[in-house]
Amino acid sequence: MKKLSVNLDHIATLREARKENFPDPVQAAILCEIGGADGITVHLRQDRRHIKERDLELLRKVIKTELNLEMAPTEEMLNIALNYKPDWVTLVPESPEEVTTQGGLDLLKTYSIVKEIVNKLREAEIKVSIFIEPDKEQIEKAKELNASAIEINTDLYTKDIKNREKYLKEIEEASKFASSLSLSVHAGHGLNYHNIIPLLKIKEIEEFAIGFSIIARAVYVGLKEAVYEMKRLIIEGEK
């Protein structure tokens, strides 16, 4: 059965907009789990614009599902991951001026840096996923790096409606190729209650990481219900 990991960055973004101590990502995580989430994802950015170390610390103690920490491949973030021991680390590119993650991590350019970090995370028994484009060369590098999974960047698929079929085919081919190399396949970025439906037919995709659309939906129906609706879509869509 395909899994859903809910990204809670935007709960923390709302909190930081007023520099309050609410809404609390930990309370949100509990509601997500009640709604059927299989995991919780947070991105601890180097500028700490939303998620903080304290959120990570409390989430590690409280949630019952898998905790996935998105982070840049830096020494600082490595040390934080080794301290809090999430179930998963997803390595992502990061730039201070971006609103959200732009593009996948280029493993051809960052191979040596990423290799050292992956090795240390695996030594600590933390599973590693790498956020990359649906490109065979990048997937081969992820396999060489001994990653447990890749997360395919679905951004172009979600934005370029005219060429959506082309990007859907690329994602499907990349998923099959990664699976043939014994890599688990995750997917995320820009997914919502409508554009996820064609991706549910790609049997190699095991997990979806979704944040903004669920949090936005929660404004109208509540967080537990918003997660439940997405999880129900995923279950029905893969039948």
- Find the domain containing 213 and state its range: 3-237
Helix axes 212-221, 223-237, angle to 10 degrees: 120
pLDDT number for residue 98: 61
Geometric angle at alpha carbon 81, from 124 and 86, rounded to 5°: 75
Name the catalytic one among 10, 50, 186, 189: 189
Q: Which CATH number goes with the domain that contains 229?
A: 3.20.20.70
Q: Which residues contact 125 (CB under 8 A, 6 or more apart)?
A: none
Report, as an integer, the average pLDDT of 188-195.
98
pLDDT number for residue 55: 98
E-only strand ranges, 39-166: 39-43, 66-71, 88-91, 127-132, 149-153
Whether 137 is a known active-site residue: answer: no
Q: How many domains does the chain have?
A: 1
Report, as an integer, the average pLDDT of 139-167.
97
Q: Which two tokens stand for residue 100?
A: 């959200």
34-48 per-position pLDDT tens digit: 999 999 999 999 999
Residue 180 pLDDT more than 80? yes
Closest CA to 188 of 219, 212, 170, 161: 212
Whether 189 is a known active-site residue: answer: yes
Residue 209 pLDDT more than 80? yes
Report, as an integer, the average pLDDT of 106-130.
97
Q: Which helix (H) or strand (E) holds 26?
A: helix 25-34
Percent residues over pLDDT 90 in the chain: 95
Whether 43 is a known active-site residue: answer: yes
Name the catalytic one among 43, 50, 94, 151: 43
- The answer to whether residues 149 and 185 touch, using CB atoms and an 8 Å cutoff, is yes
Q: How confident is the model at residue 103 (pLDDT cuts 50, 70, 90)?
A: confident
Name the catalytic one among 10, 33, 50, 70: 70
